[in-house]
Amino acid sequence: MTTDSTNASTQATLDATLTIALAVASKAAYDYYQGQPFQSPEGYQQIDAWTGWDAFLISGSEEKYGLVFQSIADPGTFIFAFRGTDSDMDIYEDVRFLTTEFVPSSGTVAPTPHVASGFYSIYDDKGGSMAQSMRQQLFALLAKYTPSELYVTGHSLGAALSQLFSLDLAVSQSMSTTNINFSSPMVGTLDWQTAYNATIPAANSIRVYNYWDYVPTLPPSDLGFHAVGSAFQTAFYVKGEWFPHELSRHSVVNLTTVLSHALPANPQQWVGQFPDYIQPKWTMLSKLPPAGGDVSWVDKIGEHMRFERSLRAAA
């Protein structure tokens, strides 16, 4: 990963109430996909949903992908929340790192952005009995509800999809949105970063992630991918464990726990510990992010291995 982020002293400032609401909305999108009861963000009600097409070779499936929430106090304010990886088909799409051109729904964007074909196919393709692609459904929902204020969010794969949607909106409808996404992989190459950052102000697109999470460093840096927008780092990991426990580091619930403590503080960081959502018998440690921003994917693996050995030695 290129050094497109920043350290705790200079990173983006987050609105605590809004950010937690968007994190809750992102978790709700997962629960909706799984057929489980879900929690709406405080002050919002869920009113609609959309699907996407996951392709595998010559087959595929239509899957639930996101939820629309409307503010109770201000009916013109909406949240569009995308879920992340939660099926075998999603994983196949996640690792399709060969790039394809991003084409907005209307209008033009320069330079021509190139994005991971797996992410883009979920956004743009349809199959089976689907009448509309995810992209078409999203724009139909916009026409249906005509929001005056729109927040776009998602976790992991959902964060990647949310950024595709945000650029599409900005180019196709000149619509200004706020995108706060969580634990996002990198979506596209340098031309994607250039086009995105020239179109969407950094303050309107913020990546929130855990320094010790591998996913934000993917795809591998030698493929030329770059992050977009501004960055907000946290730093947490499983206490006293040698193995990476990537699911714990990547969990949107663990990230939300850290944010709920950090965001009301000044500066917006938290040092403490809490039970792991993935494996409650483990304890998570939240620390200050290391200085100097992110490192490349290969270097980060080595750094993580050295850090994990130090944990084992100290246990």
Instruction: Tell me the residue length of the chain.
Output: 315
What ranges do the domains of the chain cover?
16-234
Note the pLDDT tens digit of each residue in 28-64: 999 999 999 999 999 999 999 999 998 765 668 899 9
Give the Cα separation of 99 and 115 in Å (integer): 5
Alpha helix positions (H), 15-62: 16-33
In the prediction, which pLDDT does 298 show? 57
Note the pLDDT tens digit of each residue in 246-300: 889 999 999 999 999 999 999 999 999 999 999 999 999 999 998 876 666 556 6
Residue 155 is classified by DSSP as: B
Give me the amino acid identity at 310.
S
Give the Cα separation of 69 and 119 in Å (integer): 23
- pTM assigned to the model: 0.90
Instruction: Compute and round to an integer the Cα radius of gyration of the chain.
Output: 19
In the prediction, which pLDDT does 86 show? 46
Note the pLDDT tens digit of each residue in 200-225: 999 999 999 999 988 898 887 778 99
Name residue, tokens 């929690």: 39
**Domain 16-234 of CATH type 3.40.50.1820:** yes
